[in-house]
Structure 1
Amino acid sequence: MSTSINYNEFIKKMRKLGFQGPYSGGKHLFMRRRGADLLVPGPHHRKDIGPDLLLRILKQAGVSKKEFERV
């Protein structure tokens, strides 16, 4: 993955993968799937999510790059 993704597009894809939210969890937002919580960045200043951060989030979520790109 060599490109950034828009925050709203990221949330849409995560929902298609079965995640719910994002919910406010104090200082951080989180999404939930099968009872597991995943911390996600907030939409601060409408910045895109960079490729390095996206890969770290996907790894924590147990989602492969290919699976994420398919949705």
Structure 2
Amino acid sequence: MGKLPGIQHQQAIRALQRAGFEITRQSGHVVMSDGRRTIVIPRNNPINAFTMFGIIKDAGLTVDQFRELL
């Protein structure tokens, strides 16, 4: 596992859309789903690396797979 630099929430949303997730709800957080998994992305800029790692794990991706989607 490599380190994750501070990622803007818009970048994370676009990368997860490339992975097959769609936005289902938006407010202070963005809720995305691929039909099996649901993930929540905070609208913080940048997203904390620890939080981003948890989102990536919940999405069923590895850090390297996520970086390829950025």
TM-score by length of 2: 0.79
Q: How many pairs align?
A: 67
Q: Which whole-Å CA distance do the structure 2 matches of 1:29 and 1:8 have between them?
A: 10
In structure 1, what is the equivalent of residue 39 of structure 2? 38
Q: Which whole-Å CA distance do the structure 2 matches of 1:68 and 1:55 have between them?
A: 10
TM-score by length of 1: 0.78
In structure 1, what is the equivalent of residue 66 of structure 2? 68
Q: Which runs of 4+ in 1 moved over 3 A?
A: 26-29
Higher relative contact order (CA 8 A, sep 6+): 2
Alpha-carbon distance, 1:22 to partner? 4.9
Q: Which runs of 5+ in 2 are unaligned?
A: none
Match of 1:4, as an amino acid?
Answer: G
RMSD value, Cα: 2.0
| Percent of aligned pairs sharing the same letter | 19
